[in-house]
Each structure stands twice: as structure tokens, then as C-alpha cells.
Amino acid sequence: MFPDMFEIFNQGEQRDEQGSDDPSPSSINSAGRFVPDRFFSVSVGGSILIGDKPNVTKIAKFSESINRLSAEGYNFALVLGGGKICRSYQAAAKALGANNYFLDELGIMVTRINATLLTQSVDNAYPRVLTNVSFVKRVLDIGKIPILGGQIPGFTTDAVAALIAEQMQGNFINLSNVDGVYSSDPKKSRSAKFYPELSYERLISIIQVVESKPGQNLVLDLPAALVLKRSRIPSLFVNGNDLENFEAAVRGQEFRGTVVNEEISEGEAKTTGKIVPRRRHELEEEEEYKDPDPDEIKF
């Protein structure tokens, strides 16, 4: 059911038919060429760079990391989330009587404003925030970095980034304010289990269980996870507040985070990077992982 819903992205938006976002090779000078196996679609949580208001220092440092990695030959598409400022606008609109569709539209507007800030600080950024996923490849083909916010109501920026990774047959990175995928919100539960590596199936099972419990929070939503699974997209989940760790993950070096890959089986990670295990006393406090009972999953 879910995969069919994503087809709407391939149709594009009517507002883009006039080519306002359409980059052509003659429209901007190329500084490099797209390399598929070194491509990362990065979903940047709004909590990392925005929060209650734009954090200029964090935006500048993140942009420096992207600039440095780009100079090394890595390719990126950046999708920025809303942050607390987005939720503040949505709360105000809801108090004024807005319905959920309007709240989603408002959220998209805010994410695009947030994304606009990156166009000013990332050296090789395409100068306009894209409002159509279909234009990502064209931007990459002219050697620029595409930057996006939300796309259509009902879909998170994580889902947008996952679709871009699928389109480009590249890698997916989720940057949040936690170290990776946990069994529940680690900021609320000391017993939250950290997963250094997961299969796609196990990731989806964890999301389904967590989403069935009120008040829980996870770094990825189910539609995004289903995109990752259907195209077996290599995926990394790391803390966006640790940019040195983020850079190590991109370079395939040792890093702390969660790896989701089709080759992961029985707790073994076979990736280009290395996972830094949790400290022994942390592991001893955690319960052994058990696959969720489908009968306990509620929607």
C-alpha cells in the first residue's frame, strides 16, 4: 500500500511546470560531476540547525563539513526539516482553526525557508531551494548540490530524502539529535535500546511497535523506512551535533551510529564503515532484542 503512495512524487508539482526550478547546463557553471557511488542524500533534522530559531553557528559549521567533503569528491543532496520553529507555527495555526492539510502545507513552507539558509552557506549549492524531487538529478549533473525542504502534505522530509537516495541509487543519511536508532526515545527512557546495526525488516518492525505507543518518538517514520527497504538503500543514522563523526561516516571510517543494510544478518555489519560499540556497562543494562509480536502492533 505505502509504495504506491510515493508515485505522486514522480508526477511533480503543477507549480513547477513553467520551469522555475528547472536547472539546465547553460543556466549555471558546473564545478564537478555527479558520482553515484559517492552520493549521499542527507536528511537534516530541524533540531540540528534550527531549533527555536536558526542557529547561525551550527549552520556555518555544518556547511563547512559539506564543503570539505564535497572537495574530497563526495556528492550530496540536502533535505532540511522544520525544527521547533515549525511546530510553533503549526501550533499557532491549529489554535486559529487550521486543519491538518493546512498544517502540513505550513510546515512545508517553513522547511523551505530553513533550507534557503543553506543555499547561502554551502559553497556549491544550487541557488534555489528545489520544490520538485525530479530536478535533483539535473542539479547534480551540473555539479551543484541540490537543497530541499518538504514536498507535499503528508510526507516528512525523511521520506523526501529517502526518495532522492532511491532516485539516484545512492546512500541515505539521517542526522538527528540522538546517536542512531533506539527502541524508544532515549531522552525519555533510560532503558531505550540502541541498535548499532539493523536489517530493513527489523527497522520497520521497531518503527511499527514504537508508533503504536502514544508519546513515543523515533528518528525515522514508516513511509521513509519502506522506501529504504524496497530499494535496499544503504542507510546511516548518526548524531548531527557531532560533525566529526558525520564526516567519518561519509568517508567509510569508524563512527558511532546505526547502519541499515541488506547484508546485515544476525547482528553482523558488513559495511564500508565500522561501528563503534557502546560501552560495556551500557550493553549489560540492555535487554536482549526480541522481534515484536505482530499481534501487539496496532495502527
Amino acid at position 211, single letter: E
In a domain, 289, yes or no: yes
CB 73 within 8 A of CB 37: no
Percent of the chain with pLDDT over 90: 63
pLDDT range class, residue 16, cuts 50, 70, 90: very low
User: What pLDDT is stored for residue 185 in this prediction?
Assistant: 80
If you ran DSSP here, which 8-state letter would residue 192 be given? P
Alpha-carbon distances, residue 66 vs 73, 114, 145, 202, 241 (angstroms): 11, 17, 10, 30, 14
- pLDDT tens for residues 240-269? 999 999 999 999 999 999 999 876 654 444
Question: With 80 as the cut, is the pLDDT of residue 200 above it?
Answer: yes
User: What pLDDT is stored for residue 212 in this prediction?
Assistant: 52
Q: Which domain holds residue 131?
A: 28-296
Angle CA(81)–CA(203)–CA(103) in degrees, nearest 5? 30
User: What pLDDT is stored for residue 4 in this prediction?
Assistant: 53
pLDDT range class, residue 211, cuts 50, 70, 90: low
Answer left, alpha or beta for residue 197, where phi above 0 means left and psi between -120 and 50 means alpha: beta
The domain tally of the chain equals: 1
Question: Which set of grid coordinates corresponds to residue 9?
Answer: 512524487
In a domain, 20, yes or no: no
pLDDT range class, residue 107, cuts 50, 70, 90: very high
How far, in Å, CA of 99 to CA of 94, rounded? 7
193: domain CATH number is: 3.40.1160.10
